[in-house]
A and B are shown apart, each in its own frame.
Chain A
């Protein structure tokens, strides 16, 4: 089994969000970076489990500069076999997807996995776009994945419920909660990650179709109006008369 897992560098969930360069760029100073949780906890761990059961390899792929290497090493410490980094500044979803698809197209992967979304860009787009670039089937929001031979059985979230699905042959998927449990790398994993292969490949020529004019922080909420606990009817009144919401 040959699996490819897309992993992205993301700011730690408690990071202070600030911008620089005329608010056109995320300010990385003082920010702790992690593997995007959906990529790590769900896609990567399930891929490792499948290879533990069936044999094969898990390669991670990341579009980014050398500053991504620590999070790539973390993925290797958790149990990925080897890693690829496409050396480019990730700018938008279609650029990242096209770069990964261009690399993956003749490598014979059985499954290409990603997380549900990144916690910084929140597009939920890259795995679907890779699937389109490679003309492959795509299953989004997978909460359960079992393999038998070249047939996958999946449970996936969709609007208003869950689908039970099956796919034969190569496919692309995004993973979400339920498919696996987070793994903490152990000492042996961390040691062996140092010597695992992290291949840096040059980016293919890909066009960028969007551009950020500016990032903004949301306006601060005004003060919270405290209502007496013994008089919830007052809350109902303000929700109705002031907020006009009920």
Chain B
């Protein structure tokens, strides 16, 4: 049975989140993987290489999620898909639940891996526990947590691109403008593979240069603790934790962050956690893989230099 996967593109290419969910859909091994793309695509957008055999392409870059939901439902019905896969990023989370209702499908939000039999694992209690959930409906909609599966090249050949359209009604939400949070080319925080994060230990916004230098050396995105966002030292969208963004990079470096439970909730699924803190009793060390007990103002420049020397 074929699987439909909803893909966002940027400059004609599938985004990393898109490549990841296409990889996930291929690994489900339930049948042909068919991608739905609304908007720009050049060639097959890089989707053949991650196991997609066909791209259903709607040239209209829809911006209203009720239209995107209708388009997805019609595409799924037309190919008889019983599973529809989205990235659990902001875009996916605004469409996937609608599709689940529209198709009377059970919904798995934030799946963190492939199902075992019919059971999907998802994070709950802000990363403090996992729920192992079965869906009792025939049709299922899955949103996959960004960075939980990874991009897996299958070495597949170029996917066939076919035009697709459906009656999606009028847009009722008008998009008047888009402001990117990060400069062109940098990865959105939830998709970042490496993150350098800093807290109140940095003493003030004027000191962020050493954090940015380290991030640059590692090709990492920057993040911060909540007080740092609240005091306006850093933009709100960098705030990670229970009431901020949840991330799961391969590498998380926490600089001058105490490791309060609410902070840990958003970052504790990182593969490797490094903590740099002057206080050996800081709770963060208990959640870390590697630690340096030391002053960020001394350690960070040295660490950056050591990485640049590689």
| A interface list, Cβ under 8 A from B | 11, 13-14, 17, 19, 26, 37-38, 92-94, 97-98, 119-126, 128-129, 131-133, 135-141, 143, 157-169, 171, 177-178, 208-218, 221-222, 224-229, 232-233, 235-236, 238-240, 243, 245-246
Contacts and interface: CB of A to CB of B under 8 A. Distances in A.
A243 B181 CA distance: 31
7 contacts: A157-B237, A212-B132, A215-B124, A218-B130, A222-B289, A232-B302, A243-B272
A153 to B, nearest CB: 8
- Identify the interface centre among B134, B174, B310: most chain A CB within 10 Å of its CB: B174
Given A19-B129, A128-B97, A224-B291, 19 more contacts: A14-B262, A17-B129, A119-B242, A122-B125, A124-B97, A128-B65, A128-B96, A128-B98, A140-B65, A160-B181, A164-B175, A165-B173, A177-B229, A177-B239, A209-B107, A210-B133, A210-B135, A226-B293, A240-B310
Interface of B: 8, 15, 17, 63-66, 69, 88-91, 93-102, 104-110, 119, 122-137, 172-182, 188, 190, 194, 218, 229, 236-237, 239, 242-244, 246, 250-251, 261-262, 265, 268-269, 271-275, 285-295, 298-299, 302-303, 306-307, 309-310
Interface of A is mostly: mixed
A19 B124 CA distance: 12
A245 B243 contact: no
B175 A165 contact: yes
Smallest CB-CB A-B distances: 6 pairs: A229-B294, A209-B106, A125-B97, A123-B109, A128-B97, A232-B303
Interface of B is mostly: mixed
A180 B255 CA distance: 29
Nearest to B105: A209
Nearest to A14: B261
A236 B303 contact: yes
Contact of A135 (B63, B66, B244): B66
Contacts of B306: 232-233, 235-236
Contact of A94 (B101, B128, B265, B272): B101
Contact of B274 (A17, A216, A235): A235
Contact of A119 (B126, B294, B302): B126
B94 A218 contact: no
A84 to B, nearest CB: 21
Given A225-B291, A229-B293, A125 B107 contact: yes
Contacts of A178: 236
A120 B128 CA distance: 9
Contacts of A228: 292
Contacts of A121: 124
B8 A215 contact: no
B125 A17 contact: yes
A136 B67 CA distance: 11
A217 to B, nearest CB: 5
Contact of A133 (B101, B172, B181): B101
Contact of B128 (A92, A164, A166, A218): A218
Contact of A212 (B96, B131, B243, B298): B131
Contacts of B291: 224-227
Given A131-B66, A158-B91, A210-B133, A164 B125 contact: no
- Identify the interface centre among B15, B101, B176, B287: most chain A CB within 10 Å of its CB: B101
Nearest to A152: B173
Contacts of B293: 226, 229
B91 to A, nearest CB: 5
Given A178-B236, A213-B133, A229-B299, A128 B93 contact: yes
- Identify the interface centre among B100, B261, B295: most chain A CB within 10 Å of its CB: B100
Contacts of A37: 243
A164 B178 contact: yes
Given A38-B243, A121-B124, A129-B100, A224 B133 contact: no
A229 to B, nearest CB: 3
Contact of B290 (A14, A17, A224): A224
A79 B262 CA distance: 27
Contact of B93 (A140, A217, A236, A240): A140
B299 A232 contact: yes
B243 A177 contact: yes
A151 to B, nearest CB: 10
A177 B236 contact: yes
Contacts of A120: 124-126
Given A122-B123, A124-B93, A159-B188, A221 B289 contact: yes
A117 to B, nearest CB: 8
Nearest to B273: A221
A232 B125 CA distance: 35
